[in-house]
Amino acid sequence: MLIRLGLERRGAGQRKSRARKPAETGINLYNQDDTRKYPQSQAINGNYQEVLTEERKNKILERLASKGKVLSSDLTVRLGVSEDTIRRDLKDLSEAGLLKRVHGGALPVGQVPFQYDKREKIAVGEKLAIAKAAAAYVKNGQIVFIDGGTTTAQVPRFLSSDLKATFITYSLPTALRLAEVGSLEVILLGGRIQKELLLAMSPSTLGEIAAIAADLCLLSVESIHTEYGATVSNIEDAAIKRAMIDRAAETIALAGAEKLGTVSPFQVAALKDFSLLITDQSAPPGLVKDLKNLGLTIIKA
């Protein structure tokens, strides 16, 4: 009896040991969250998630390009993800400079480089055509505000050599080019020189503008949008442009086709503040139509 009991205990112990092995083997083989034993599985899964995220962001940008705006509520339905996921995607894309986040969604962002010398080399032919058309609106005896854009900087080359007018600017390159037209009087507003933009800007600049009553303002803008109007990326520049518009009898906006339908951080003016927008021949007909429907007069140079 004692011997038999001993054998049974040994047999039971062996059965328990065999019963445990499959359970341990199951954990080791199939639990892919066990990163200590299966780091490669984790890497594969992580890469897959990254691919899905990038595909989703690309779809957001594609829809933004085709529609001119995206709504978070619409994206959650179309892409089958949560609002938090869309919010994170829009935040990432905004930080990358690929769109402008607004309440409830996003808009295309202006892609104008900050540095003057880089901006000057973009769409040169289109800028010349726009500047030539703008120059035709300047008349003898006028006082004209002209801002620091690279498009308005081309206006002096198309002014008549016998034109008698006064130009007021805060742009160093524009002031120098105007000074080459012998019959013009040129006033350069004072302020701290912003070296990348080549603009003279300070709080006192706004006071100088407030003391002037101009006939015309020629204004370059970085972005033109049906809802947000004219916007730029520099807050000081935006304030000076607004002051010039307020002190001019009429304002003509100059903007290349690539700037239409986009938004930059700081508002300059509503569309109703412009008597005319001059753009180039490549401006998308749909965007031009939308702007005209809001009462903005547009010509393509």
Same domain as 128, residue 259: yes
Query: For residue 47, with 0-12 CB atoms within 10 Å meaning exposed, 13-18 middle and 19 or more buried, which class applies?
Result: exposed
258 and 287 housed in the same domain: yes
In terms of domains, do 87 and 129 share one?
Answer: no
User: 39 vs 187, which has greater pLDDT?
Assistant: 187
What is the per-residue pLDDT for 175?
A: 97
Specify whether 222 is located in the same domain as 138. Answer: yes
Is residue 210 assigned to a domain?
yes
* Domain-embedded: residue 180: yes
pLDDT recorded at residue 70? 83
Asked, for residue 48, whether it belongs to a domain, the answer is no
| 10 vs 300: which has the higher pLDDT | 300
Asked if residue 289 and residue 170 are part of one domain, the reply reads yes
Instruction: For residue 41, name the pLDDT band (cuts at 50, 70, 90).
Output: very low
Query: Could you tell me if 123 and 98 lie in one domain?
Result: no
Same domain, 166 and 238: yes
Query: Do 284 and 167 belong to one domain?
Result: yes
How many alpha carbons fall within 13 Å on the CB side of residue 104?
4
Residue 37 resides in a domain? no
Domains in the chain, number: 3
Are 88 and 24 within one domain?
Answer: no
Q: Which pLDDT does position 3 carry in this prediction?
A: 39
- Report the pLDDT averaged over residues 281-287: 94
Q: Which domain holds residue 103?
A: 62-109
pLDDT of residue 165: 98
Q: How many CB atoms lie within 10 A of CB 149?
A: 29
Residue 142 clears pLDDT 80, i.e. is over it = yes
Domain boundary among 109, 125, 143: 109
* 272/24: higher pLDDT: 272
pTM of structure:
0.70
Lowest-confidence segment of 35-39, 60-64, 136-140, 229-233 by average pLDDT? 35-39
- Length of the chain equals 301
Helix axes 72-79, 83-95, angle to 10 degrees: 110
Whether residues 199 and 124 fall in one domain: yes
